[in-house]
Structure 1
Amino acid sequence: MKDNKLLQKVIMKKFLLFFREVRIELTVFALPFAFLSLILVEDGLPKLETFIWITMAMIGIRNFGMGINRVIDYTIDTKNPRTSNRALVTGSIRKWEMTIFLLLMAIIFIFGVYNLSFWAKLLSPVALLLVIAYPYAKRVTWGSHLVLGIVYASVPNGVYIATTNQISLESILLGLGAGFWSAGFDVIYSTADIEIDRSQGLYSIPAKFGIAKALLIAKFFHSLTIVFLTIAGIVLGSGIIYYIGVLTFLILLFVEHRMVSPDNLSRINTAFFNMNGLISILFFVSVCFDTFYNG
């Protein structure tokens, strides 16, 4: 009996290590965009099975993406003080264990997609390739942030494809909004690694243009986010609650940008993690209320 409890404790500890390594809490960035897209395409509550399969696919690919990023960036992470305590770097998680985790997440993603539309099944390898491409992109181009943007832009479009077998103007606009939002916050977060990126020959907007210009570019990306989300609301025929959500999105982005400056990056973690998590959740809530109220 004691042996079983000890084994359970060891397994649970290992699972927690994996969840910390892939920052499971950051699922709150992309998952609300998937859910709000599902509510919009269904014009209300989706079928339970559709919700389950899309949630499964999102969790699978998101954790696969974070895990593969850790594997690909292993050597880089060992030389970066900010990332040198990651479990894969310290050996708390071994590479073969991470490989099993990646296979498990890929299977979860594929199983979720398998229960969705024909085109979702057909395009699932593209989704996997996109998340693999992101960590490699910073080795070849300072536009790597836009690769992450493409990953996020695929979320609303992927949900529409999964449920209707096609994309639409509103899914494209929502995708552009999500894409430029993620590209913008990735630029902001990358300012923390500017010296490491330059010393290791990695490409990023901060490393290429400096922190001041990088923050301006992030503001431009986030301005495009608000533009595309506003146009999406017009195309969708959304009500006032949706636009209150967009306004809240704008205000929180403004606060996020006020938290960081070329001379002071001390609050970058709060700006990145707290503000963007709050943005995603509140926008999701506004879309829900608007859809149900108008419906």
Structure 2
Amino acid sequence: MGAEISPKPLATVVDASPSNWVDRWAPASWQPYLRLGRFDRPIGTWLLLFPCWWSQALAQVNTGDHYPDLFTMALFAIGALAMRASGCAYNDYVDRDIDARVQRTAGRPLPSGQISPRAAIGFVVAMALVGLAVLLNFNSFTIWLAIASLLIVAIYPFAKRVTSYPQVVLGLAFNWGALVGWAAIQGSIGLPALALYAGCVFWTVGYDTIYAHQDKEDDALLGLGSTALKFGDDTVSFVGGMYGLAGVMWLIAGALAGAHLVYFLAVVLVFLQMSWQVSTLDTKDSANCLWRFKSNRDVGLALLAGLVADMALSWFAGLS
């Protein structure tokens, strides 16, 4: 598949914060499994969770609720933690030979030999069962809708072997919660949820293209595809386009759901944050890319705040 890369395995992974709680506080015997599930790198859980919360909140704006259902939000939080852990472990199992030849991923538990492939599969199943336990609290439509996402999840690790657009497959899988959150409240899929989902897919393609620039040299040597390699020096324009489309679809989702001015102002703030990412992006600097990728948690918080404020202000308006 190209030139061999044999970096020295690390006890930790290079893209985890040096002060992360797993390396500092977790028992040594737990650390490889917590790293396998990315508990030392919470940004992915946030990015998986926000579309669920956004969709739930948007559905509640549509139904005229005055505050978000905290129990449902808690279920989504637990489910996101478990399913992200399961999905990452599955991805690492499929990619264990590739990860051993990439500098950034060589220290992961599987390629570095901290965990056996069999143990990793056991972890995948255990975390998936936690996710299933959470899912069974929802209505039957939501349960089957969530289960349907597993096909895309199963395909994703293989996408970079056959296409230059694996980020699109990731976006389709990673943002399924934008459909599930709406279904959990309303028992169906509405047009606002579809618009929100489309926006989230564009968002993910954008931020994961930024993230993929960290591995572009190794990916090129190994014959793997990514939008970072596909667009190269045109990445800034490409990511800007993806973020622009995301913002437009989120505006459409809010309009279809009957959202109010405060939500649309939140989308404007989100667009400004994403504009900062694009205008300051240096694809030749891995630290710059990682920082901008992680800053998408701010996008999630801002849009969620806009939706919660929309519900709260509607309640105050009803009192006057």
Normalised-by-shorter TM-score class: 0.7 to 0.9
Task: For residues 22-57 of structure 1, give each alpha carbon's deviation from its aligned partner in whole angstroms, at most 9, with x where no partner exists.
Answer: 323121112122123222323344555534443333
1:161 corresponds to? 183
Q: Any residues of structure 2 matched to 1:1-295 within 5 Å, and which? A: 12-24=27-39, 25-26=42-43, 27-42=45-60, 43-47=65-69, 49-209=71-231, 211-273=232-294, 275-295=295-315
Quick one: distance in 1 between partners of 2:151 and 2:26? 30
Percentage of identical aligned residues = 25
More helix as a share of residues:
1
Structure with the larger RCO, 1 or 2 (CA within 8 Å, 6+ apart): 2
The alpha carbon displacement at 1:95 in A equals 2.2
Quick one: distance in 2 between partners of 1:69 and 1:179? 19
The alpha carbon displacement at 1:151 in A equals 1.7
Q: Structure 1: which 4+ aligned runs deviate by more than 6 Å?
A: none
Q: In structure 2, do the counterparts of structure 1 residues 292 and 90 end up closer, same or farther at CA, with 3 Å as the change threshold? A: same
- The answer on whether the counterparts of 1:144 and 1:203 sit within 8 Å (CA) in structure 2 is yes
Cα RMSD for the two superposed structures: 2.3
Bigger Cα displacement from structure 2, 182-191 vs 88-97 = 88-97
Q: In structure 2, do the counterparts of structure 1 residues 14 and 225 end up closer, same or farther at CA, with 3 Å as the change threshold? A: farther
Q: Which runs of 5+ in 1 are unaligned?
A: 1-9
Quick one: distance in 1 between partners of 2:161 and 2:76? 32
Quick one: distance in 1 between partners of 2:139 and 2:226? 36
Query: Which secondary structure does the structure 1 equivalent of 2:188 belong to?
Result: coil
Q: In structure 2, do the counterparts of structure 1 residues 14 and 130 end up closer, same or farther at CA, with 3 Å as the change threshold? A: farther
The alpha carbon displacement at 1:262 in A equals 4.6
Q: In structure 2, do the counterparts of structure 1 residues 285 and 20 end up closer, same or farther at CA, with 3 Å as the change threshold? A: farther
- The answer on whether the counterparts of 1:244 and 1:286 sit within 8 Å (CA) in structure 2 is yes
